[in-house]
Amino acid sequence: MKNYGRAVYECLRGGLDFTKDDENVNSQPFMRWRDRFLFCAEAIYKSQAETGEIKGHYLNATAGTCEEMMKRAIFARELGVPIIMHDYLTGDSPQILVWLIIAEIMAYFFIHRAMHAVIDRQKNHGMHFRVLAKTLRLSGGDHVHAGTVVGKLEGDRESTLGFVDLLRDDYVEKTEVVVSFHSRLGLTTRCSTCGFRGYSRLAYACFDRDLWR
């Protein structure tokens, strides 16, 4: 776990603004969540002190029960980390309850889409990601894992940016190329929008809630 924290520090110190836990990093015997949270928080604060820049790390609070996820989210916030990560498929139905507690402790809620292809890349059945993206936003997501246009498995630029536009713009014009088959209101009703943000490999649609002060 010290090596993991060191890797986070080196990435942030080297110039990245954000790093994140992966979906398979939650609380295995070789990397318990509480210790990982502590080492990552140390990496954040050390890199911030040395660079004078704002840094962050998405701490994965996904667990087997809603109570356990809430405990992890609260602990992360007590460390001063403003971003809580949740895998909406493996974490399943407690997501809205987790969002409620995260909203109460004033943290960003980052929804990660690991295993989404089981649902949205089926050619004969399933659900398009534009529907999933809207559902995830409406279930409380401040940051939504919307994919990337380079370097990952599959996905084209137009459709990926279409998901992002749908989540952050006030209004989206009809265009089948970017997966909007009719003009519609965007999903920015919960709070004001900010610019597009990204980090090393993933792109997000995000909202501006100033939690860095």
- Give the pLDDT confidence of 154-208 residue by residue, as tens digits: 666 777 777 777 777 776 676 655 555 555 555 543 333 333 333 333 333 333 3
Residue in 186, 92, 101 with CA at minimum distance from that of residue 137 = 186
Q: Are 130 and 163 in contact (CB under 8 A)?
A: yes
pLDDT at residue number 49? 96
What's residue 96's pLDDT? Answer: 66
What residues contact 56, with CB distance under 8 A and at least 6 apart? 17, 18, 19, 44, 81, 82, 83
Q: Quote the pLDDT of residue 204.
A: 37
Beta bridge partners of residue 198, listed in sequence order: 203
| List of domains in the chain | 2-115 (3.20.20.110)
Q: 93 falls in which pLDDT band (50, 70, 90)? A: low
Mean local confidence (pLDDT), 64-81: 88
Helix 66-78 / helix 33-51 crossing angle, nearest 10 deg: 30
How many C-beta neighbours within 10 Å does residue 88 have? Answer: 23
Return d(Cα 26, Cα 53) in angstroms, integer.
Answer: 27
Count, residues in the chain = 213
**pTM for the complete prediction?**
0.71
Q: What gap in Å lies between CA 203 and CA 101, rounded to an integer? A: 25
